[in-house]
Amino acid sequence: MDSIPRRSARYHFDYGRQSRLASQLGGSAIRFGRSVEIAVIDFHTHSAASDGALSARDLIDRAAREGVRRMAITDHDTIAGYLSVCQSVPSGLELISGVELSCQWGRVGIHVVALGFDPAASVMTRHLESLDKARRDRAEKIAHKLDRSGMPGALAGAMAVAEGAQIGRPHFARWMVLAGHVESEEIAFKRFLGRGKPGDISMLWPTLGDTVETITAAGGLAILAHPLDYKMTATRLRALTDAFCDAGGVALEVINGRPRPGDTDTLWRLVRERDLQVSVGSDFHRDSPYGAGLGVEIAQIPEGMGVWERL
Ligand code: AMP
Ligand code: MN
Ligand code: MN
Ligand code: MN
């Protein structure tokens, strides 16, 4: 028996609400009778190649078991997980190339999900190599800051936790717990690693423009990940969306994990305003009471709006 709760954590569209919203916004009619085969997808997931708990193999096997039909592994700044499984995908599941790229818009760190690119395109492999280096440099800087806060040995510690994965702040957080510096990873972020804290090193990623152009040049589609997580005013979020569109971005991630319905409405409005498409994903990292399970139901998303229709 599979002990994983199958659909409990999955985000369900409120059909009435979405269809009302779609018609208010002049959207196309909801397509009835869409084949159930494509009703559950997931274009934002993490494996142990970055900061997820499951190996890429376990991640896709589990997604297939739970009824996900199309998905992408979108690790932070690495496609190693995707490459390790792309030749042996379970039947019934379609795996699309993916990655979640770190970049900067001015001083703000932004995440862009790339889907359906050629993983061998030199423009993409060069970009990923520069991100490898940026992440190693950042890890050294984070370790230096933690050292100055009375936590020596953070670089070796976080690298041991990462076990060869693309190193990130969650590995430092885990090490801080294991080394007894903090009680939980949440507290590690709150005190040392989160936005504006000593271990939050900024101004180090490639620009938003270069990132979106790289994705497009590699034949992929660029999606602005979790747009509301940047905590911007509506005006600033519009400016970010415009910069993203000008660079060639095509979609906003309107469902990330388990959004509140009001958040989804805000993003749908922006999508309509800027004539964009939408993407959806669980942003699954591990089983947790807070995060979403794998898979997003998309039967109620109006025809022509899903970026997956172009993949
Ligand atoms: P990085 O990619 O190194 O900048 O780390 C960012 C990652 O840390 C995110 O993708 C989340 O998985 C994780 N993260 C961010 N904020 C928190 C938090 N407050 N508590 C736990 N994990 C977090
Ligand atoms: Mn993450
Ligand atoms: Mn992200
Ligand atoms: Mn993510």
296 and 282 in contact (C-beta within 8 Å)?
A: yes
Cα(52) to ligand 2 centroid in Å equals 7
Please return the burial class of 101, using the count of CB atoms within 10 Å of its CB with bins 0-12, 13-18 and 19+. buried
Paired residues of 101 in beta bridges: 112
Name the closest ligand to CA 171. 1
Per-residue model confidence as pLDDT tens digits over 124-172: 999 999 999 999 999 999 999 999 999 999 999 999 999 999 999 999 9
Per-residue model confidence as pLDDT tens digits over 267-285: 999 999 999 999 999 999 9
Cα(149) to ligand 2 centroid in Å equals 24
What pLDDT, on the 0 to 100 scale, is given for residue 282? 98
Ligand 1 close to Cβ of residue 52 (< 6 A): no
Ligand 1 atom 14 nearest Cα: 170
Least confident interval from 53-57, 196-200, 232-236, 267-271: 196-200
Ligand 1 pocket, mutate which of 189, 288, 290 (most atoms under 8 A from CB): 189
Cα(71) to ligand 2 centroid in Å equals 17
Work out the percent of the chain whose per-residue pLDDT is above 70: 88
> Quick one: which atom of ligand 1 is closest to the CA of 169?
3
Cα-Cα-Cα-Cα dihedral sign, residues 68, 72, 74, 80: positive
What is the band of 52 on the pLDDT scale with cuts at 50, 70, 90?
Answer: very high
> Quick one: which atom of ligand 1 is closest to the CA of 135?
3
**Residue 5: pLDDT over 90:** no
- 255 closest CA partner among 289, 229, 232, 275: 229
28 and 302 in contact (C-beta within 8 Å)?
A: yes
Across all residues in the chain, what is the average pLDDT?
A: 90
> Quick one: which atom of ligand 1 is closest to the CA of 285?
12
User: DSSP assignment, residue 268?
Assistant: H
Token pair in block for residue 184? 């939980």
**Cβ-proximal residues to 255 (8 Å cutoff; 6+ apart), any chain:** 11, 264, 278, 280, 281, 296
What pLDDT, on the 0 to 100 scale, is given for residue 203? 78
